[in-house]
Amino acid sequence: MTATRPLRIGITCHPSVGGSGILASELGEELALRGHEVHFISHAAPFRLPTNQPRIHFHPVEVNDYDLFKYPDYTLPLSVKMAEVSAAHHLDILHVHYAVPHATAAMLAMSMLPPDSRPKVIVTLHGTDVMLLGCDAGYGPAIRHALDAADGVTTVSHFLQGQVRTHLGYDGPVEVIHNFFAPQKPTRTREAVRAELGLAPGETMLLHASNLRPVKRIDLLLQTIAQIQPRESFKLVVLAGGDTSALVRDAAKLGLTDRIVIREKVTDIEDYLNAADVGIFTSELESFCLSILEAMTFACPSVAFAVGGIPEVVESRKHGLLVPFGETAALARAAESLIADPARRSALGTAARDRAASLFSANRIVAQYEEFYRSKL
């Protein structure tokens, strides 16, 4: 065995649409491209996971909905599958994304294995697992216990690293490894996508991509959109990874229906990023905001509230425009200024793309994960 042999890596994540699942799938794909053997363990194949890569394997966890329980349990069958896959494939690393319930399941799985056949457990914390569940008295102590048992802990921003200390009281080492994005080539032209979306010539395409959960503050997004003038200068395209009924209802109440185009669970995200002019994000908290980075890689600057880790991703006025949280009028003015000034938009977009390439590329970030894994073996 040499220090540089390919590794056997298990990855567990939430497979549904969400930043942590997307990041974990992309990481698995990039690790496989670099020669490692990657085993995904989850109840469903992660969204965006390639099906044609020979070094990527998927091990489904079967969950039985026994009527003797009020709530179905996933943690136990997940832990059994983690132990099985670890033993059968001699995993070196078990990398779990999002603490709940994955870090606890990993801890349990390790205790089912003899000490000399346990992979090293790495936990990557993504955001709400710390800032929401970490503050919940029913979860916090269990998360902290699982971090204590892990061999390595990472967060996706310096901001979140601080939150781990504050909310979980965890004082072990926490490595910051930022999000990355490795875009596919768009399959359609910018013009074809804009035509599909019904954008009139000269209309600016504002893009919002998220799962529409409460933390994304879609109420503030709509309030902002309602204040942008002139009204006919833009359309907001929402790439929705969650339930759109409240968005549709509230947009209608504000008279915004003709300004908003919704696409659900798109897999060809690059086509839309390539067609977009300005990203718009109104979250009340983000550990990083992968969607802003995705837009940056297509030279699309964003306007957003300066919350959480977003200022680590975007320096305001250099790669986009940030305003204080909740100031929807200021956010609308920021969007207007970019709608009215294509040259400024393009300058910010170019700087954003350069920053994404130099700080948040797959090459840079995946190498950091590989180095982190090897440091634990």
304 forms part of the interface with ligand GMT (CB under 6 A): no
Min separation Cβ 279 and ligand GMT, Å: 13
**Comparison of 211 and 233: residue with beta carbon closer to ligand GMT:** 211
Question: Cα separation of 151 and 334, whole Å?
Answer: 44
Stretch that binds ligand GMT, among 223-231, 279-287, 318-326, 350-358 (CB under 6 A): 279-287
Residues 11, 27, 209, 215: which binds ligand GMT (CB under 6 A)?
Answer: 215
Sign of CA dihedral 124, 128, 130, 134: negative
Phi, psi (deg, nearest 5) at residue 96: -105, 135
Residues belonging to the chain: 377
Question: Cα separation of 213 and 175, whole Å?
Answer: 27
280 forms part of the interface with ligand GMT (CB under 6 A): no
Stretch that binds ligand GMT, among 42-50, 126-134, 193-201, 251-259 (CB under 6 A): 126-134
User: Cβ(277)–Cβ(204) under 8 Å?
Assistant: yes
Residues 163, 179, 224, 282: which binds ligand GMT (CB under 6 A)?
Answer: 179
**Comparison of 102 and 118: residue with beta carbon closer to ligand GMT:** 102
**Comparison of 121 and 125: residue with beta carbon closer to ligand GMT:** 125
Using N-to-C axis directions, what is the helix angle for 328-340 and 342-359, rounded to 10°? 100
Q: Write the DSSP symbol of residue 331.
A: H
**Comparison of 133 and 205: residue with beta carbon closer to ligand GMT:** 133
Say what the alpha-carbon torsion angle 196, 201, 202, 206 is, to the nearest 10 degrees: -10
The CA-atom distances, in angstroms, between 156 and each of 6, 163, 175, 330 are 24, 11, 9, 28
260 forms part of the interface with ligand GMT (CB under 6 A): no
Q: Which residues of 248-259 are buried (b: 16+ CB within 10 A; e: fewer)?
A: eeebeeeebeeb
128 forms part of the interface with ligand GMT (CB under 6 A): yes
Min separation Cβ 214 and ligand GMT, Å: 9
User: Cβ(24)–Cβ(97) under 8 Å?
Assistant: yes
Q: How crowded is the C-beta side of 192, counted as CA atoms within 13 Å?
A: 5
288 forms part of the interface with ligand GMT (CB under 6 A): yes
Residues 290, 303, 314, 323: which binds ligand GMT (CB under 6 A)?
Answer: 290
Residues 39, 55, 120, 126: which binds ligand GMT (CB under 6 A)?
Answer: 126
285 forms part of the interface with ligand GMT (CB under 6 A): yes
Per-position x/- string for 5-44, each x denoting binding to ligand GMT as judged by CB under 6 A, each - no binding: -------------xxxx-x---------------------
Stretch that binds ligand GMT, among 33-41, 79-87, 208-216, 252-260 (CB under 6 A): 208-216
User: Interaction with ligand GMT in 136-165: which residues (CB under 6 A)?
Assistant: 156
Phi, psi (deg, nearest 5) at residue 94: -120, 110
Residue nearest to ligand GMT (CB): 127
For tokens 């997940």, name the residue: 78
Q: Give the list of residues 6+ apart from residue 117 with CB closer than 8 angstroms, or none.
A: 86, 87, 90
Residues 213, 344, 364, 374: which binds ligand GMT (CB under 6 A)?
Answer: 213
Encoded tokens for 9? 């890596």
Q: Which residue ranges make up the site for ligand GMT (CB under 6 A)?
A: 18-21, 23, 98, 126-128, 156, 179, 211, 213, 215, 285-290
